[in-house]
A and B are shown apart, each in its own frame.
Chain A
Amino acid sequence: MTTQAWSAAWQWPRSLLKPSRILPLCALVGALGVGLVLVALSGVPVDKALAAFFDGVAGSGYALVGTVSRAAPLALVGLGFVVADRGKLTNVGAEGQICLGGLASTAACLYWGAAKLPGPLAYVFPVALAALAGGAWGALAGWLKARRGSSEVITTLLLTFIALQMVYGAVQSEALLRQPMTSSSTLPESLEIPAPTTLPLLSSGALPLHAGLLLALGCVALFGWLLRKSRVSLELYSVGENPRASLRAGLAVDRFVIGALAASGALGGLAGALMIQGDQHYLTSGFSSGYGFDGLVVGLLSRGSPFALLGFALLFGALRSGGMAMEMSAGVPSAVVVVCQGLIVVAVAAAAALERRRA
């Protein structure tokens, strides 16, 4: 072995210990530590709570599938954030784009004849429609930014609240997506989508792991590659850094802004379709339950690295799964997990900024 290879091998573990990675890691561990203290305060034995948590995350094949299928939409939303961020655009509206995707997907599955389409088209068509709907919601913010100069931070946020109410309205009205009222106790939710329109399972066994995972991984791989290697990505970056110069250089700045937010929104819409056609199978008010905001954080924390993106998506998926298990089998208030999530978001965002300041 040459000296060079030796020194390279010697250097590798050191790079892992770079301050840039230590700080967010400390933040993460610290936040989880506070969570444990809270568990202890709530009177549940810590070891019992931890056992329940890890059982819920990956204790059985079934639990692991739950964690992974929660991570998939988070990864898609995070990816959407990264795509927009490449052009210095901040898409805060993934929650709304998920809603639009869920609406389009449910409508297509139930009423727009997707179930009668042959073979895979039955589930591909609603998924595609969901991507279009989410993309349109993103493009609207893009258009307002490009043509009217409205800040996308504000418009995407407002569009989210509008979309949340659209879902609420749709499941409240029988003329829209509410299931037919047969009694006064009929819940305000849609019918269950027909079997052919649900995403196919990956294994023939008992594990309900659906194809949404492949879709998410495929998107991360595709966009990860595009963001690093493609010319469009470089142009988008230049538009974000200096729109005026990019315009002089002949780039259609408006189109990049609208396109980037549309792509970002389409990924949110896909996440919505995954949640409906893969996991929940019917539309309820608030079905997006904060995935858009969690996903935003996943995207921000990943800082453009596809592997970090998948890692953080898994972490947030695991927190959701483990938190639910802790509440159900160990009696720990789920609020403790919510506190943990909040702490992680704040601590890691702070650590990222502190480290940037040092650099």
Chain B
Amino acid sequence: VIDSLVVFLASTLRLSTPLILAASGEVVSERAGVLNLSLEGMMLSAAFGAALGAKSSGSPGVGLLCGIGAALLLAVVQAWLSVRVKANQLVVGIGLNILALGATTFLYREVFGGLSREVIPSFAPLEIPGLSRLPFLGPALFRQTPLVYVACALVVATQLLIERTRFGLSLRAVGENPRAADQAGIAVTATRALCVLYTGLCAGLAGAFLSVSSISTFTEGMTNGAGYLAVTAVILGAWRSFSTFLACLLFGAATALQFLLPALGVKLPTALLVMLPYLLALLAVSGLMGRSRPPAALTLPFRRGGH
């Protein structure tokens, strides 16, 4: 039982990591008023870019950079269209997801060919000296791949960015009341665009984690809704960085339970476990469980002088 608990904790952390990485970025841009449904597509492109980079260079580090580049590419399009051109954020996001799914599937078949589950170079687990020797907690938490630790650092960095910096103050203002922010001399468009790019960076890490860290291969549509789950974590986390982190851990645990419960002989429909995150988030936004209010200008484009 202890052993399976260790496995459960370790896999919870591993399954939460892509959500933590992606959601940390999404918190920032949603606080600035941009909802990126394209998070899913960004992660998928990053997973593919990282796999491609790692395969052709033989180094997971280069793969990681390629992954971030691929996600940033989509982030630039999302930022330009939804912030500058002021196209409908949700539709642009949905379109980019379809595009990313098609493009990665197409390129995967062209480059990797067929359904080869080719193993690509990936990051080895990094044992934290000392801590990894701890009984129970050591093997569960401190023998993970480097990106897991990066994810935890990113949560702290994001929290500081939003709450403690000048830029954080600007982005919160832009997300709550862009008109007032504009009148106070904050560059609304530039602030929002930067926040979307930050999301792209984080989504890049998240996607790369999937293909060159968690499992060493790329499969078609491998994100399988993780991007939407990260958006949901932001909602359940009430648009705050640390609560979002907790929500991601909860979702990771729910996913890990899907594998643990059958092993323990517990019969629970998997549909219920998969549904749980969305149900909790729904309760949260409806105020039936805590109070979770989105930034006032979320999804609304800003036009100076107009409405």
Q: Which chain A residues have a beta carbon within 8 Å of chain B's beta carbons?
A: 38, 41-42, 90, 92, 144, 148-151, 153-155, 157-159, 161-162, 165-166, 168-169, 172-173, 290, 293, 296-297, 300, 333, 335-346, 349-350, 352-354, 356-357
Partner of B232 from the list A158, A340, A345 (CB cut-off 8 Å) is A158
Residues of chain B with a CB closer than 8 A to A161's CB:
225, 228, 232, 275, 278
Q: Are A336 and B106 in contact (CB under 8 A)?
A: yes
- Asked if B92 lies at the interface with its beta carbon under 8 angstroms from chain A, I say yes
Q: Are B95 and A151 in contact (CB under 8 A)?
A: no
Least CB distance, B99 to chain A, in whole angstroms: 3
Residues of chain A with a CB closer than 8 A to B278's CB:
158-159, 161-162, 165
Partner of B85 from the list A166, A335, A354 (CB cut-off 8 Å) is A354
Residues of chain A with a CB closer than 8 A to B73's CB:
none
- Asked if B77 lies at the interface with its beta carbon under 8 angstroms from chain A, I say yes
Residues of chain B with a CB closer than 8 A to A333's CB:
105-106, 109
Residues of chain B with a CB closer than 8 A to A293's CB:
94, 98
Q: Can you list 19 A-B pairs with a CB-CB distance of less than 8 A?
A: A148-B288, A158-B278, A162-B275, A168-B271, A169-B272, A296-B91, A296-B94, A297-B94, A333-B105, A336-B106, A337-B102, A338-B98, A338-B99, A338-B101, A339-B102, A343-B95, A345-B98, A349-B88, A352-B87
Q: Are A159 and B81 in contact (CB under 8 A)?
A: no
Q: Are B286 and A169 in contact (CB under 8 A)?
A: no
Q: Which chain B residues have a beta carbon within 8 Å of chain A's beta carbons?
A: 35, 77, 81, 85-88, 90-92, 94-103, 105-106, 109-110, 225, 228, 231-232, 235, 269-272, 274-275, 278-279, 281-282, 285-288, 293-294, 298-299
Q: Are B235 and A342 in contact (CB under 8 A)?
A: no
Residues of chain B with a CB closer than 8 A to A169's CB:
269, 271-272, 275
Residues of chain B with a CB closer than 8 A to A357's CB:
85-86
Least CB distance, A126 to chain B, in whole angstroms: 23
CA distance A166 to B276 in the complex (A): 11
CA distance A335 to B103 in the complex (A): 7
Least CB distance, A44 to chain B, in whole angstroms: 12
Residues of chain A with a CB closer than 8 A to B96's CB:
342, 346
Residues of chain B with a CB closer than 8 A to A173's CB:
269
Residues of chain B with a CB closer than 8 A to A339's CB:
99, 102-103, 106
Least CB distance, A146 to chain B, in whole angstroms: 11
CA distance A166 to B274 in the complex (A): 10
Residues of chain A with a CB closer than 8 A to B97's CB:
342
Determine the residue in chain A with the shortest Cβ distance to B281: A158
Q: Are B102 and A172 in contact (CB under 8 A)?
A: no
Q: Are B109 and A346 in contact (CB under 8 A)?
A: no
Q: Are B298 and A151 in contact (CB under 8 A)?
A: yes
Residues of chain B with a CB closer than 8 A to A356's CB:
86
Least CB distance, A153 to chain B, in whole angstroms: 6
Determine the residue in chain B with the shortest Cβ distance to A336: B106
Query: Given A300-B91, A345-B98, does the pair A335, B109 have CB atoms closer than 8 Å?
Result: yes
CA distance A149 to B88 in the complex (A): 22
Considering residues A162, A290, A293, A349, which has the most beta carbons from chain B within 10 angstroms of its beta carbon? A349
Least CB distance, A103 to chain B, in whole angstroms: 12
Query: Given A168-B271, A169-B269, A333-B106, does the pair A154, B91 have CB atoms closer than 8 Å?
Result: no
Least CB distance, B73 to chain A, in whole angstroms: 13
Q: Are B90 and A153 in contact (CB under 8 A)?
A: yes
Least CB distance, A332 to chain B, in whole angstroms: 10
CA distance A336 to B106 in the complex (A): 7
Residues of chain A with a CB closer than 8 A to B103's CB:
335, 339, 342
Residues of chain B with a CB closer than 8 A to A336's CB:
102, 106
Residues of chain A with a CB closer than 8 A to B293's CB:
149
Least CB distance, B155 to chain A, in whole angstroms: 22
Q: Are B285 and A172 in contact (CB under 8 A)?
A: no
Least CB distance, A40 to chain B, in whole angstroms: 13
Determine the residue in chain B with the shortest Cβ distance to A299: B91
Least CB distance, B90 to chain A, in whole angstroms: 6
Residues of chain A with a CB closer than 8 A to B102's CB:
335-342
CA distance A184 to B35 in the complex (A): 44
Query: Given A169-B269, A172-B269, A297-B91, does the pair A155, B35 have CB atoms closer than 8 Å?
Result: no
CA distance A333 to B110 in the complex (A): 10
Q: Are B287 and A162 in contact (CB under 8 A)?
A: no
Residues of chain A with a CB closer than 8 A to B95's CB:
297, 342-346, 349
Least CB distance, A173 to chain B, in whole angstroms: 7
Determine the residue in chain A with the shortest Cβ distance to B99: A342
Determine the residue in chain B with the shortest Cβ distance to A173: B269
With A300-B88, A349-B87, A353-B86 already in contact, 20 other A-B pairs whose C-beta atoms are closer than 8 Å: A38-B106, A41-B110, A144-B286, A149-B293, A155-B285, A158-B279, A159-B282, A172-B269, A293-B98, A297-B91, A333-B105, A336-B102, A336-B106, A340-B102, A341-B102, A342-B98, A345-B95, A350-B92, A354-B85, A356-B86
Nearest 3 Cβ contacts at the A-B interface: A342-B99, A338-B102, A169-B271
